Structure formats: structure tokens, C-alpha cells
Chains A and B, each alone.
Chain A
Amino acid sequence: MKNLTEMLKGVLEGCLLEIISRGETYGYEITRRLNALGFTDVVDGTTYTILVRLEKNKLVNVDKRQSDMGPPRKFFTLNEAGREELRLFWAKWEFIASKIGELRPDRALPPHTQPQTLPPVFAEPEQRLSIPQNLFCEEEKSHV
């Protein structure tokens, strides 16, 4: 899918942590992996900037080794702080995905509670109004 850049920001860092957690890897390989997943807009430079940040924040171990061709290549593995960050990422992701899933108009309310007589244009805002009270208050406790 294309034009995801803005929405992907922040999430990509977690994706990289996950990919690195599965075994030593390097920038080019990570980019290929993300492209294969369907993130076709991700280029080497995107991966690179995130790797620079992960390294600066000391979430990865970096091993610079001579590769078969070209300049020495940086190989990345997760360190303890990185694994903790990855765990936090999945917890945050779980929360975001479930909350946004609840906001989706087609999933907001069970079908039988939707007003049958109103055309969809009027039905929508009403559904939205009825969401906050029952969902947001309790959920916060269980996730924090």
C-alpha cells in the first residue's frame, strides 16, 4: 500500500525492533523484508534513519563487519533495553489497534442496536455519540 508514510511513523520503529529480534540482520535486509510485507514505500533511507535512532538510543548492539562487497556493513541485534522496548511496543500496539477497531463505524455497535429507520447519514453520528461512555472509562484501567 502507498502513502502510508505519516501513519507509519512511530510504528515502523516497533516493526524494526521485531524484525531485529528474530536474529542478526542489516539495513538492506530489513528494507526488503518490509517491502515484501507490503510496505512498498519504505526505502533504504527510511530504514537507515530508524536504525540510526535505535543505535543512538542504545536499543541495539551494532557489529560492524567487512561484507563481501563494499564498505563495512553494520549488523544489528537487540540488547536487553531493545527487548523491553519491543515488549512495550506490542502492548501499545495492542491498545491502539483494539481502540481504533472499536471506533470503526461498522464495528461500533452490534447490528440490532442500530436505528433501522434512519438513513446511514443520520445513523452514523448517533453511533459515535454512544461510544465513549461505555468504552473508554473502563478500558484505561485494564491497560495501564
Chain B
Amino acid sequence: MNDSDATVKLVVDGHEIQAKPGEMIIAAAEKAGVLIPRFCYHPRLEPVGVCRMCLVEVKGPRGFSLQPACYLPVAEGMEVVTNSDKAKKAQDGVLEYLLANHPLDCPVCDKGGECPLQDQTFVYGPGESRFVEEKRHYPKPIPISKLVYLDRERCIQCDRCTRFADDVAGEALINFIGRGGSIQVNTFPDKPFSSYFSGNTVQICPVGALTATPYRFKARPWDLEQVESTCVGCSVGCQIVVQSSENELVRYLGLDSEAVNHSWLCDKGRFGFESVNSSDRLGTPTIRNGTAAKEASWTEAMAKLAEPLNRARKRPESIAIIGGAHLANEDLYVWSKLAKSIFGTDSVDAQLGDGLDPRLLTRTNRATIADAVGAEVLVLLSGDIREELPVLFLRLREAAISSGLKIVELTHAATSLTPNAAASIVVSPGQVEATVRSLVEQSGQEPSDPSIAVAKAIIAGADPNRIVVLAGRMNQAGSSLDQERAIATLIDAKPGSKLLSGLRRANVNGAIDMGFVPGHLPGRCALTEGSKELIDAWKQVPTQIGRSTPEILAAAANGEIDVLFLIGADPISDAPDPELSERALAKVGTVVSVETLPNASTRFASIILPAAAFTERMGSTTNVESRISLLGQKLVSFGLSRPEWMIAVEIAAAIGEDLGFESMHDVWRELSVVSPLHRGLSLQALGSPGTREGVLVPVRRSRVSIASNRSLDPVATPGIISVEHSGPPSSSGTGRGSDAYPGIEANASAVESVDSRISGDLLDLLATPNEVAPIGSGDLVPVLRRRLFDGGTMLVRSKNLTELAPAPRVTVGGSTAASMGFAAGSKVTLSNGTSELPDLELVVDRGVADGVVVVDLDGESGLTRRVIQGENLRLTIKLESV
């Protein structure tokens, strides 16, 4: 306990305990080691006090009375008895009541063995039921979405799933229907529980009422093996438990990380593991000559690669690497060294033209998620966060609703956070920088747009140190320069403000930190800023800034690239211009694909090297807030696949070079010396009990005390009862993640070195603005928008997710639709003058800027990219049918 924190003293079962003011009895008692039984209480949900399982005796003015421990805050001098005969009688009674109508189908219930109702019946419940009447009956499980089944007979009406849906996700698609004994959870007819967060309801269901399609009847809890890990579905870095049975992944569960995910996961992250189990996995190196492909040994594959590579090395700029955002930090460091030190090329890009200028991330004061939710003002210059970084959306939404975070949003179309935003400014593409300028510039004139006036006042009134800018991509179409200049303008105007990365690919933030982007070296250094230790270890670094992904592809199409590595990258589906990508890949002499799964681009590879998937290898990843956390290994790697760092070592060896790594410990030994950002870290330190939530880099504070372990609330997260988990340090008291770790020393000179690169004139680093082409009548400016279920590789190979990807739609604003005479629901064709995309559903959304058409980005099919590419593109819409 931090002495400065106010505490109250109370007596629980005869022992004096301390608690925070406002804390509920149930939580205070739990911290003191007294577990009060419960069902409806969940530490991450607002209490409702309905199951009555946590009744305890509390002394009031008129003596002891039974009170719900989940709904009564502690008070100074309070006396609580949890184990008196009266309290136990009440608890027994509640359990007997709950069991009265509960079916006895535990042997066929997924929850059997990890069921809070089963477990608490053993501990607190009556021996046998006196209920001899007919039980309540409902048709057995009904699907309430493609991912979730509901068995209403098992439901105990605890209100957890419904509270989650309404309060946390903001999607009240399931609700209590009926009254009294016939009350049931259900959806509106034909309006399924299609929420990105539906899996959380399954996780927190304290009985087997909600089950997940991918896990139903897959395994029994006692057969599961498990390891803690980090989800890599996006870059939020949700902490998870990976569970497997017989070397097959069966389930991910969210761990309660105070700093990151509060136990929640999105459905893409939770169920995307199915892609690891996919029957399409690449398990053997493959060599292709012309159209003939043959499986090969690693030795053969390396021999095949060595020859063209040796040839290309003479002209380092003819070697390029695209991808890497899906790699672990260790892989990225090794590949970075391979490319920049051994090959000598800086044409390495983990972003696929869909991100931001990396200097916005390496030259700014970076914010944590805690900074963002605790900020006074959060300025969103990003896509729809619910679509791109789903669990971050939950955190921001909660902060906006319950802790006073003011969100100022600049967007081309209404987003999921618009309802919670203090100001939502709808801007047209190309107008972002100008709009930000009008927000921060001193001028006596009242802005004509009321949302700008509100936003301007909010920003002007805020402490600049408590302004956070969430920087992602508002629009996947066209150049990002206008938006990058907007970000820079805002940050330059508000010294002390911080930037939270909104780059969404799994470990793209780690890739930037490892220098796996043009112009950078590990540790957020420019090519000219490498530490002495780095130069010692690497011997040489490129002097010329290399090409970005679009530039690599353009150069390749021109015949300037001889060897192109695609590391977990599919430029045909994923880079801005699929046709350019196809031309480029066809032209390159040797395309090397390092992949877990085949994709559109692997067809062009002359050498395919199978990579181990997440959960098949150890490592670490870096999230949006620069938090490094571990990736757990649970499976034996598929076939002959290998971790990517090992593949890099093999490639170096094949051309007679030694990278100097035999293990990931070796990697960290070097990394922690050469990179000021990672100074002092090691794989052991990352795995220590005090760093279970990961480590924020650079490590800014040293501390000796070890964060207290707490056992996970077994009723909050059934399924991971036995995992001892390091929760939020009880001393922090602020509800924020800690940034000091046991056993890891902050290094002042390293921190100084990282901070010294923060630019006060970010805008000067960027190019001058593009000319905005005039907009002709009937022309629409495209906005290409990401959706969570995007039809990408992970989704397509996860059999329960693949159907969830919606068909791409086009969305226009009300006045645009009116002026064109289009009605919502019409079928339209989108045209860019040369190519067309037919059969799209038209959506009308008042939140879309005039003269703008918003198109959903699709994944593997890449159809929308074929119509929307290049700068200053203008589109037209043709009506097919109403």
C-alpha cells in the first residue's frame, strides 16, 4: 500500500483489513484473502447485486443484516461476517435456488470442470436438491450469432453477458426478455448478436449457457494445456491464455491486464487462432521453376537462394524486403541486421503503404493506453478504432463515458466513437491539415463549423501535457501526407502532448523500433544515429535511405529489384495497387516468400520458406504503446516450419555470413546493448513475475519492490482458474499500468538518448503538401475504410470467422445521396473511369462528408483496391437497381 493513498479500515471475519474508499466489500475482502462466493459480480462490470450469492452479514445501526458484498462499499469501522451460520444459510439457499431449474447436463456441458456454478456448489452448496418439480424447459442451444450459442436452461440470469454487451461494448443486441421465472436472455428476432466482442460473453458466462462455436465439444478443461501469451490479431497487445489439446489450439481466453485489455478480446483475436490449425499451412520449403513447384529440404532451398542472392549483393539496392509486421521482435531484429548490415540494403519496409511516416513514431513523445484513457483530451486522427484496434476502442469508450475523457475526432465518416466524442469533425480528404490548423491557430474569428468551434475550445482549454493524439490512417486511399502533416501540426502546436500509435498491424510498432522501415536502425535511430555499440556489432549500415513498399514495388516493376523477400506479406492483396504488385512480382527474378499460409503473392515466389506460427514459437511483441510482452509457445511447430529469426540466420549462413545468433537469448544480449530503447532488457526479465503485463520501453523508472501476484478471480474468468497471474500492482492505486519493473534498471543515458530524438518541429521533417486536384461535378473523393472482418488471410483461414466478412459496401452522405437521387439499399457500380466494381450495396450515412464516397476495404480478394489506387483519384457511382 502506498501510504499516501487514503484507506479505510474494516473488520472482515474478525480480522482488520484495509481497503480503498469506495471499494466494494467483495473486492476488499478478496484482496485480504477472503473469497466471497459470487456469480453476477465481475470486477470489470458495474455491479448489479442480483444473484444474491455474495450475501454477507454487515453491522449497521440496527445490528447485523444480510447485504450484497458486491454492492456495498467499504466504510470505516465496518464489521463484515462472511461465514456466520446466517450468511452461509443465505448462500446455501441461493445456490439451491439457482440449481432448482438448472439442468443436470454437466457431463455434456462445455463448462463442466471449469464451471463456477459447479465449483461453488461443491464449496458452498447443499448436498442434494429438494426440488422435485418439473424444471424449466427451453429448446436446447440456439445460435444467437454465428459464433455464440445460447442454452437458456443453463442460464442463471446473472446479467453478465447483457451488461457486457450494453455497458462495455455499447451494443445492446442481447437483452433480458420476459419477466420473473420466465425471464431469458435473447436477441431481437432476426437481429443476431453480431458484435465484434461477442466472445467475451462466453468467457464471462458463469455457467454453460453461452458457448462458442469454435470450442463447442472440442475439449474438456482437464485435458487442456495452457500458456500465457499476447494476441497478435492487431497491435493492441491483449494478454491472453492460449489453450491447446493434443497439439491443436482450441481456445484463447483474455487475461485481465490492467494496462491493456481488462480481460476483453475481440472476436477476430479470440477465434483467429483457427488459422494456425488451418489445413492450408505451409510445412515444407518449396522451390518453383517456372510453373513446376516441388517440395524441398531446407538445405536445397538455401542452396537455391544463395546463388541469386550472392549475385544481387553486388548491388545492395537490388535487394528488398517487404513485410515483417507479423514477426516477433527477435525476428525483426535479426532480419533488420541481415538486411541492413549483411545485404547492405535499406529497402526494408514492414508497412505496406497503409501506415504512417515512421518518423511520426520515432520522433515523438509516445503515449501509453493509460495516458490516452487518462488524458484530458484525446484527438483521433485515425480510422474507426473499433474496426482497427477493437479492444482499444473499448478502453476509450469506457473512458469517455465514465472518466471524463474528451474525445475530439477528425474523420471522413462517422465512427464507432462518434457517439462518445465531445466533438466530431467531418472533414474531406485533403482538408485534414487545414482543419487541424484552424483548431490550433489563434484567431479572433469564430469558426463557422460548430464542431470545430467546440473542438477548438476544448483543445485550447486543455493542459497540453494531457493531450494525446491517436495517430493512425484515416483513409487507405491516396497519400497519407495531408494527414501526417495534420498530426505533426497538432503535436508541434502543443508541446508536451503525446502520440499514441494507431498503426494496427500486429507488431508494426515493434518493427519500427527494430529499424525494419526505411531510414531507421534499431532503437528509433535514423541511419546516421546508430549507437557506437551498434556500429561495433553491425560493422556497416546503409547510408542511403531505402525504398518504401510502394517504391520497392514500382522499382521492381521497372526491373530494378533482383531479389525480393516477402515476409508474412501479400502485396497483391494488401498493398495499395494490386496491379502494380502483380507486375512487380512477375518481373523480379527471385521472389522469396517466408510464410505460414499461402496467399495471392506466394504464387509468384520461386522459393517458399515455411514459417512457424504464433503459439509455435517463443518471442516477444511490441504494442501500440511500446509495451513489450511475451509470446508463449504451446504447439510443436508445423511440419518443417521454423521461426523467422532462424530462417534469417540460415540465409546468412547460405551466403557465408554469420549473424552471431544461436538462440533468442543471443538476440536479446545484442539488442539490449545496441538499442537504447531496449537497454537493460532480456528475455528472462520479460518472463519474470513482475513483468507479466509486459514492459514499456524505454524503461523510465527503476523499482525494487515486486508487484504482488494475485490469483485470477476464478468466477470472473472461468477456464483459467489455475493460472497464477500477475495482476495490476496493488500499490499503484491509480488504476494505471506500472512503468517500473522488478529486476530491470532504468538507464538514464539510454532514456536520454531516446528522448533526445523527439522533434519539436515535426512538420519540418515532412514533405510539402500535395496539390489537391479539383473535383469535377458528379465526382466523388474516395475514402477507403478498414473493417475488422476484412477477408484478410487470418480471417479467410479461420473457418468460423471467414463467413463474417461482409461484402464491401459504399457509403455516401445524405446530401450526396439526395443530389444523386440514390436511395439506401440500392445496388451501384463504382467506377474510376477505367475500371469498375459492380454490385455494391449503397449505404446512406449522415456522418459522411459531402462529395465523399466511403468504400470498405476488402482483404484477400483485393477488389476495392483495384478501383481505388493512386493520388487524386475521383470516382463516380452508377445506379444499377433500387
| Chain A complexes with chain B | no
